[in-house]
Each structure stands twice: as C-alpha cells, then as structure tokens.
Amino acid sequence: MADRDDVLIVGGGVVGLACGLALLEAGRQVRVLEAGTAGCGSSHGNCGTITPSHAAPLAAPGTIARVLRWMLTPDAPFRVSPRFDPALWRWMLGFAARCNRRDWLQAMQARVAILQDSRAALPVWLARHGIACEFESSGVDHVYRSRADFDAFADEADQLRALGIAVEQVDGAEYLRGEPALREGVAGAVRFPGDARLRPDRYVAGLARAFREAGGVIVEDCEVQAFEETGDGVRAQTARGVFTGRDLLLAAGAWSPTLDRSLGLRIPVQPGKGYSITYSRPALVPKRPLVLHERSVCVTVWDSGFRLGSTMEFSGYDRSLNPVRLAALERGAREYLHEPVGAVREEEWFGWRPVSVDDVPILGPVPGRRHLWLATGHGMLGVSMSVATGQLMTDLICGREPRLDPAPYAPARFA
C-alpha cells in the first residue's frame, strides 16, 4: 500500500490533471490514478477550441424534433443507437424534459460563468506552467450556407450578448472576401472573437508534465475498481493495489458512472461519442477555427496540423470507429472548403464526451460524504472549462471561498 495522500484523483484527462495541478498549487499532495495513460481519453483528439460561445446547452427547444428526424439518417451529426439500456433511456427522458426555454436559459447562465472564467484564466495558466500547446486567441467562426439557419441564430445571439459574449454577424459575400479557403455559397457567418484554440494533446501533455514537476504523481495502467470512505479518509482498490487518501476526486470523464456505486449517487452522464480525423496541414486553410453549421463539423488548424471533428452519437461504450461517420466529416468539409483534407491522414480517432443530462458540469462534494468529490459532465466543453474546473474544485476541497458560485454545478442537484 502506498503512503496516504492528501487527494487521490481518479482519471488523468484534462479535468483530472487541471484539478491536480491547481491542488498542488494550493499546497496539497496529489496522486492521479489513471486506467490508461495520462490524456488517453476524450482529452486527446478533440477539436481544441476554447468556446464561451458554446454556452447554449444541447437540451434546447426543438432539439427532440431534430433528433427524431436525424434518427433516420446514418451519418447525421446527432444520433442515438436504439437498444435496451435503462441508464440511456433514463438519461434521454431527463434530457427531453429539459428541452424547454426556461431550462435552456438557466443552463446557459451556469455554462457561461464557468466558460468565461476559464477562458480569462487560460493564457495566464499556460504561461505560469510553461505549457506550449499552440494556444491562440483566434476567435471562432460559425459558417452558414442556409440563410434561414443564419437568420434563426438571432435569438441565441441576443441571449449570448446579454451574457457578455461578443458576437459579430457577417454577410456571406463580405465573409468570402476575407476568407479565401471557403467555397462559394456562404449565406453568412457568426464570429465569436472571444473564443480561442489550442492543440489538445499538447495541452494535456503539458499539464501532465507540469503536474509531475510540481511534485504530483501519476500512476498509469491503474484502473480504479472501487473506493470507499474510511472514517477519516478514503481507500481505493485498483489494478495496482490499494491507495489511501484524505479526499478522493472522481474525474473519470464518461467512465465516471461506471464507478457510481462507490459514490452512492447515480451520475446522470452518458458517453457522447465523437470522431476526428487529423491531417497534415493543407496549403489553403481557414484563418481561424470554423464550425460548418449545417454539417456540425469543426475545423481546427494549427501550425502542426489540421483536424476535422464532430458528431454526437449515443451508442454506449462502443469502441468501434464507424467509417460512415468518419466519411461524413470529410463529406461535410468538402461542401465548404476548397481544400477539405490534408495530404497525409495522420490519425482517425473517437472519444467519449461525458455528457450530463442537463449539459452542465457536475462539480463539488458528493452529498452525504465528507471525503468524496466529483468533477465530470463537461460534455463538449471539457477543455474550455478545464482551468476554472481545477480552480473551483481546489477552492471547495481546500475549504476556500469559491471563485464561482458553485451551486449550479453541485452534484446535490441529482441527489
């Protein structure tokens, strides 16, 4: 048995590592227990956009009708694989119940607070820890080929502006004059100048390096099988033996519900599978990251490469790389871009986003437990919310005045 730590963290993704690094900065001794290697989960091949602009949750008025239409299309951007899975159906019912304007606006407020805090803190955090990950305050553009969809965004744009997000709407012809990488047929674009991007695998590698240099320990190939409170602390049973600590933070992303028996709390999170393809950088690339609206494809460009990513598929913990959905990324990109792919296809990837039933992250103490904490449910925005998540969890675990109102994120909302 290893010596007792102040904090054991289950999961070495962007969330677990950001929490670990913030806790080390606050003087805690921290050990991360990771089933694979640090950053091997959803944090690896995602699109790397930092997007306060994505404050609107998935559960929105009209989402259910759209999902039902998409059920008939195998390469649609959002898909539920129908099967017998009580946890999925419970989650779907809870999600459907939230597809109304009141819950949409409430979730948007909770999301924008943590997104904005994280976005503001990110450049300082990267500089302080010497993390080079191709971060750029680039902004992000959403490109529309449908005039009706472009016009329909006006309501969301108003809500975002009211919450402090800068939104610029650009006419299609003007947009094309400034963005030669795009093909004709753009009806308009929405620019979010406050957004940014980074290379996520480099970011997570940088977090892991900074964490270790600051004295943290990452135990890899160390799947946590169960844990329990032991009066004055916690005890975790793992593939590498038993670890003990004063506190335990479950940050296992989409896998968090697989350990919820140890928490005594049902975690309403489903794996929302997404795909990406990474290429060498084409000659003609967009000036900033794009979301190709009608196809829901995200295009991210770095000096080191070019990535297409997207799709949200609820198919449980299915590990297959679906060729239909990978092909849909390229097909979508071809409609908008002169050079939709790079010469070398470097990686095809899938990841499971930890999607909570209200699309708001689940952060804070486990109700009725003194030493158990939860940080999961970041959905499509775990990279964007990483710094503020680490700092909020550190405030809570260390008993400091929290920098954000923790109430909207509290696990107690599901107790």
Ligand X SMILES: Cc1cc2nc3c(=O)[nH]c(=O)nc-3n(C[C@H](O)[C@H](O)[C@H](O)COP(=O)(O)OP(=O)(O)OC[C@H]3O[C@@H](n4cnc5c(N)ncnc54)[C@H](O)[C@@H]3O)c2cc1C
16 contacts ligand X (rule: CB under 6 A): yes
- Which span (98-106, 184-192, 279-287, 380-388) binds ligand X, by CB under 6 A? 380-388
Q: Which of 2, 26, 40, 398 binds ligand X (CB under 6 A)?
A: 40
Q: Which of 139, 382, 408, 411 binds ligand X (CB under 6 A)?
A: 382
Cα gap 191→57, rounded to integer Å: 19
Cα gap 248→368, rounded to integer Å: 14
Cα gap 326→340, rounded to integer Å: 13
- Give 76's Cβ-side CA count (13 Å radius): 15
Q: Tell me, residue by residue from 207 to 236, as one string, x for binding to ligand X by CB under 6 A and - for no binding.
A: ----------------xx------------
34 contacts ligand X (rule: CB under 6 A): yes
Closest CB to ligand X among 35 and 110? Answer: 35
Closest CB to ligand X among 85 and 223? Answer: 223
Q: Which of 6, 8, 9, 12 binds ligand X (CB under 6 A)?
A: 12
48 contacts ligand X (rule: CB under 6 A): yes
Closest CB to ligand X among 176 and 244? Answer: 244
Closest CB to ligand X among 188 and 253? Answer: 253
Q: Residue 375 in 3-state DSSP? A: strand
5 contacts ligand X (rule: CB under 6 A): no
**Which amino acid, residue 149?**
D
Shortest spacing between CB 409 and ligand X, in angstroms: 14
Shortest spacing between CB 358 and ligand X, in angstroms: 15
Beta bridge partners of 168: 191
Shortest spacing between CB 174 and ligand X, in angstroms: 26
- Backbone CA torsion sign across 30, 35, 36, 41: negative
125 contacts ligand X (rule: CB under 6 A): no
Cα gap 302→338, rounded to integer Å: 18
Q: How many residues bind ligand X (CB under 6 A)?
A: 42
Contacts to ligand X from residues 304-363, by CB under 6 A: 309, 351, 353-354
Closest CB to ligand X among 46 and 278? Answer: 46
Query: Is residue 333 a contact partner of residue 183, using CB atoms and an 8 Å limit?
Result: no
Contacts to ligand X from residues 263-282, by CB under 6 A: 274-276
Shortest spacing between CB 48 and ligand X, in angstroms: 5
Q: What is the DSSP string of 399-414?
A: TPPPSS--GGG-GGGG
Q: What is the DSSP string of 236-281?
A: EEETTEEEEEEEEEE--GGGGGGGHHHHTS---EEEEEEEEEEEPP
Q: Tell me, residue by residue from 239 to 258, as one string, x for binding to ligand X by CB under 6 A and - for no binding.
A: ------------xxxxx---
13 contacts ligand X (rule: CB under 6 A): yes
Q: What is the dihedral of CA 90, 94, 96, 99, to 10 degrees?
A: -160
> Which region, left, alpha or beta, applies to residue 302 given φ > 0 means left and ψ of -120 to 50 means alpha?
beta
- Which span (42-50, 104-112, 182-190, 277-285) binds ligand X, by CB under 6 A? 42-50
CB atoms within 10 A of CB 412: 14
Length of the chain: 415
15 contacts ligand X (rule: CB under 6 A): yes
For residue 374, report the phi and psi dihedrals to the nearest 5 degrees. Answer: -135, 135
Can you give the binding site for ligand X, defined by CB under 6 A?
A: 10-16, 33-36, 40-43, 46-49, 223-224, 251-255, 259, 274-276, 309, 351, 353-354, 376, 378-384
